[in-house]
Structure 1
C-alpha cells in the first residue's frame, strides 16, 4: 500500500490487530479485522466500534455563522439553533443542485457550529465552505487534531459508560441526533450510520487509542469499513459517491426530506435549480427474490424503463441481497422489477426502506 496514504491516530492499532488495510478516500483504513460477517453481526447483536477519524470535523465560527449555514445548506439550521448539542443532517449543494456532500451539522453557540463531512470530499468541502463563508465574515477551521470513533449496537451506550463512567451523566438522556460536550474537545453524540443505537465520539487524537483499547477490553468488537457498508445499506442509508454525487440532486436520491423549502425568503445555494429540477428519476430500495447478489451499476428493468443499482450487497441480517437503485419515477413498494446479474435478468421487488432497524428485519 502506498506510503502517501493518510493515516488516522488509530492506524498503528489497526495494524497491530492484523486488519486488512485499504485505500479509502486517500486514507489507509481497515476493511476488516477477520470475519466481516462476524463484525456485522456483532453490531446487530451487541456492540461494535469503527474508526471514523478519516471524516473531518469542521468548526464554523462567527457572528453571522447562522446566516452562512442557512445559505450553504439545503436543510434549515434554524430548526436546531439555540439548542446546544442538537444535530441536523443536510446536503451541501452546487448552484445546479448537484450534491457536493452530505454532512451533519451541530449547534454549539450562535457563533460556533460544527460540521462533520466525508473523508473523500473533505478538501473540496473545505474549499467550497471557505469560499462561501468569506462574505459572511465566518471562519471555517478543519479540526485534524481530533479523532472520531463510532460505537454502535444494542449494548453500545452501556459499554461506553462502563469504560467512561464520567460521561454517563451528560449523555444518558440524549435523544437521537443530540450530542453532549462531556470534556474539553470531547463530544459524545447519539448518532450513527448502522441502523442501531449508539454513540459517535469526537475526542482529542491523543486519547483515541486508550478509548479503543478500553472498549475492546470491555467486549466491543473492532469493525472495519466492510461491515460498516453492509450495516448502512441494511439501514437504507445513502453512501456519497455511489447513491449521490455532484451529478444528481437530492430529490432524485431519496433525500427530499433533507431539503427545506419552507421559508420562501431563504435562497440557499441550489434552491432555484431544485425548484426547476427534472424529477423523472428516483432512488428506490430493492429486495432480490432469487439467488444472486446485486452490485453497483447493474441494470434494473422496471415497467417505466431502465435504471441502475447504486449500492448492492448480500444482507447478512436478512440472508438475501438488497440494494438501492435509481429508476424512472413513479414506482411503488410491492412492484416487481428485474436486475441484470451475469447476463441474466433476476426477479426483484421494490420495498420500503429501511431493510433493518435496531436488529429487526422490516422486509
Structure 2
C-alpha cells in the first residue's frame, strides 16, 4: 500500500462486542465505517431463528443522544415530522419519526424516547451521524437544550417470539420485573441500564442500551441460553419482510416521507410547524408498493418497474424472503401510475422482463 493510500484508508470502528463476533467466526465487513458481522455461518438459519424463537443483534453502531433542558419538547416539536406531544407525559414512551431538511427530504429516520419534559433520548442511524448532529446543533440555536452523544454505550437487540422471556432469564429480578411491565414501543430505566420494547424485525423483542461491560455479559449469558447471534444479512431480510424502511435505500434527502410510504409518521393535522412541513406536497408525487416476484430471480435495488411497457418507478429494496421462499421488494412509483393491488408489473432484470405481483406490505 502506498503512503498516500495508507493515509486515505482508516480502519473501521469496532463496537464493544467486536471480540465476541470474532470468537464466533463471524464474517466481518465494513458497514458505514463500522466493523460488523454479516453472518455467523448461515444467514437463512439466523433469519428463521428470529421468526421462530429468538436472535440477538449487535447494533452498537447506532447513535444514542440525550437531549436535556427546559426547551426539550419545544425543540423536538419543531424539529421532527411526527409530534412528540403524542408521547409526552408517559415516561419511556417511544415515537418513530423522520427528521427533514427544509425541502421536506428525509435527513434521517429515528426513534425518540420521552423520559420527562426536560429529557428525551434519540436513537439515530450510524451512516448519517455526522449530518444528523450538525443539523440538530444548527436547529438547537436559540433553544435552552444540551445535546449529548453517548458513544460509550452499547446497543443489543434481542428479537423473536421468545426474546422477552430469554432476556428476563439472564438479568436480575428487579430488571426482569421492569421488562415484564413494558408495553410495546415503551422503554424503562433500571439504574443506568435502558431497555425498550422496540425492534427492526417485525417480531416482538427488546433493544438494550447499556454499558460496554454489561453488553458483553448479556451477550455471553444469552449465548448460554441458546440465543442465536444474527448479522446484518438476517437483519435486512427480516426488516424487509416486515416492510420497514432502510435509510439510504427507501429513504433519502431527495424524497419526502410522503413519497416513501411514511405518511403515518407525519403529523399534519395540527397547527404545529416543523422543519420541512411547508414543502410536503399532498398528494405526494410518489407512492411505495410491495412486490412479490412470480418468475425465477432475485429483486434488487434500482431495478426499473414497468406497467404496460411504461416505466413507472424503481425498486428501493429487494431480497429473497426466507419465510415466503420468494423474492420480495419495496418500490417507489409515480403516484399517478400506481398499479392496484393484485395487478402485475414487469421488472427489468439484466436483459429480461420478469413478472411481479403488487401486494400490500408488510409481507410477513
Tell me which interval the TM-score lies in, with the shorter structure as reference length. Answer: over 0.9
SS in 1 for 2:13: coil
Give the structure 2 partner of residue 319 of structure 1.
Answer: 325
Decide which moves more: 284-293 or 225-234: 284-293
Is residue 2:357 matched to residue 1:352? Answer: no
Indicate if the aligned counterparts of 1:305 and 1:328 stay in contact, CA closer than 8 A.
Answer: no
Q: 2 CA distance for matches of 1:15 and 1:301?
A: 44
Normalised to the residue count of structure 1, the TM-score between the two structures is 0.95
Give the structure 2 partner of residue 24 of structure 1.
Answer: 31
Q: 2 CA distance for matches of 1:236 and 1:141?
A: 32
User: Residues 252-263 of structure 1: matches in 2 within 5 Å?
Assistant: 252-263=259-270
Q: 1 CA distance for matches of 2:44 and 2:126?
A: 24
Q: 2 CA distance for matches of 1:117 and 1:60?
A: 13
SS in 1 for 2:104: coil
Q: 1 CA distance for matches of 2:106 and 2:161?
A: 32
CA deviation profile, 1:39-74 (whole Å, cap 9, x unmatched):
011101110000000001110011011000001000
SS in 2 for 1:355: coil
Q: 2 CA distance for matches of 1:280 and 1:289?
A: 27
Give the structure 2 partner of residue 133 of structure 1.
Answer: 140
Is residue 2:279 matched to residue 1:273? Answer: yes
**Can you give the 5+ residue segments of structure 1 that lack an aligned partner in the other structure?**
357-363
User: Residues 296-315 of structure 1: matches in 2 within 5 Å?
Assistant: 296-303=301-308, 305-315=311-321
Question: How far apart are 1:152 and its partner, in Å?
Answer: 0.3
Q: 1 CA distance for matches of 2:18 and 2:73?
A: 36
Indicate if the aligned counterparts of 2:168 and 2:179 stay in contact, CA closer than 8 A.
Answer: no
Q: 2 CA distance for matches of 1:97 and 1:277?
A: 12
Indicate if the aligned counterparts of 1:311 and 1:324 stay in contact, CA closer than 8 A.
Answer: yes
Decide which moves more: 91-100 or 120-129: 120-129
Q: 1 CA distance for matches of 2:164 and 2:68?
A: 30
Question: How far apart are 1:352 and its partner, in Å?
Answer: 0.7
Indicate if the aligned counterparts of 1:87 and 1:107 stay in contact, CA closer than 8 A.
Answer: yes
Decide which moves more: 66-75 or 17-26: 17-26
Question: How far apart are 1:277 and its partner, in Å?
Answer: 5.9
CA deviation profile, 1:106-144 (whole Å, cap 9, x unmatched):
001100000000010112111111111121121111001
Question: How far apart are 1:278 and its partner, in Å?
Answer: 6.9
Give the structure 1 partner of residue 3 of structure 2.
Answer: none
Is residue 2:46 matched to residue 1:33? Answer: no
Q: 1 CA distance for matches of 2:342 and 2:178?
A: 44
How many residues are paired up? 353
Is residue 2:350 matched to residue 1:342? Answer: yes
Is residue 2:129 matched to residue 1:122? Answer: yes
CA deviation profile, 1:160-190 (whole Å, cap 9, x unmatched):
0111142221121312100111222x11111
Is residue 2:187 matched to residue 1:190? Answer: no
Normalised to the residue count of structure 2, the TM-score between the two structures is 0.95
Give the structure 2 partner of residue 361 of structure 1.
Answer: none
Provide closer, same or farther for how the CA distance between residues 165 and 206 of structure 1 changes in structure 2, counting only shifts above 3 A.
closer
Question: How far apart are 1:3 and its partner, in Å?
Answer: 5.1
Q: 1 CA distance for matches of 2:350 and 2:132?
A: 37
Q: 1 CA distance for matches of 2:214 and 2:180?
A: 22
Alpha carbon RMSD of aligned pairs, Å? 1.4
Q: 1 CA distance for matches of 2:140 and 2:339?
A: 40
CA deviation profile, 1:224-281 (whole Å, cap 9, x unmatched):
00000000000000000000111111101000100001212x110000000x467221
SS in 1 for 2:140: helix
SS in 2 for 1:317: coil
**Can you give the 5+ residue segments of structure 2 that lack an aligned partner in the other structure?**
1-5
SS in 1 for 2:130: helix
SS in 2 for 1:238: coil
Is residue 2:185 matched to residue 1:177? Answer: yes
Q: 1 CA distance for matches of 2:183 and 2:198?
A: 9
User: Residues 52-63 of structure 1: matches in 2 within 5 Å?
Assistant: 52-63=59-70
